[in-house]
Amino acid sequence: MSWRLLKTGPCQADPKLLRAEVALDRAYTRLLPLLNAVIPGALYDPDIPSLVFNFEGALVSILPEEIKLAQVKDEETLSRAMEYLLRTIAYVESQRDKITPRETRGYEVSTVEIIRLLPGPIKGRYCRACGYPSCMAFAAKLSQRAERLSRCRPLFEEETFDERCRNLTALLKEAGYDSCL
């Protein structure tokens, strides 16, 4: 299997980043439940059908007609993302008898749902231990599956937040954010 770049340009949300559309040289949608079983934190929608996952901060959407990439850092990252996808497709094809397809639909946890369980709003200030200027900025990245919850250290280190930590971890697990924990 090989890939071909159809279109590329600056991302609408952040013009410093790239977006791209890519075609593969043969059909792949039947493999989506297998890819959903092996790509950590993938978001599967059987109705379209589509699968979305995060690769080095880029959002990769596998759609029936093409593959769309957004928020890609540069062309090298685009190539690495596609190489990863082709490698993973080859892997699931070769191991299909041993992999249980995952038909479960993942879903997106919103920034608002995340932020209401982070410590900042309770503390009344943003400590920035996560490297972001606010809980909102961190929650937005986590919602896109582009961050790990563990970067919010106060959530794990301060006893006051034990219950929030449990609830947020459970919420993310249920939505299929395993790779973000």
- Please report, as ranges, the residues that interact with ligand SF4 according to CB under 6 A: 118-120, 126-130, 132, 135, 138, 152-154
Min dist CB 57 to ligand SF4, Å, is 17
Q: 120 or 176: whose CB is closer to ligand SF4? A: 120
Q: 96 or 128: whose CB is closer to ligand SF4? A: 128
Mapping DSSP to helix (H, G, I), strand (E, B) and coil, where does residue 18 land? strand
Min dist CB 153 to ligand SF4, Å, is 6
Q: How far apart are CA 49 and CA 20, in angstroms?
A: 20
For residue 145, which of 39, 45, 62 has the smallest C-alpha distance? 39
Q: What are the DSSP calls for 90-136, one per residue?
A: HHHHHTTTTSPP--PPP-PPPHHHHHTTSSHHHHTS---TTSSSSHH
Q: How far apart are CA 105 and CA 45, in angstroms?
A: 6
Min dist CB 43 to ligand SF4, Å, is 22
Min dist CB 77 to ligand SF4, Å, is 25
Q: 49 or 57: whose CB is closer to ligand SF4? A: 57
Min dist CB 129 to ligand SF4, Å, is 4
Q: 118 or 175: whose CB is closer to ligand SF4? A: 118
Q: 99 or 137: whose CB is closer to ligand SF4? A: 137
Q: How many residues does the chain have?
A: 181
What amino acid occupies position 94? Answer: S
Instruction: Please report the sign of the dihedral spanned by the C-alpha atoms of residue 74, residue 21, residue 110, residue 33.
Output: negative
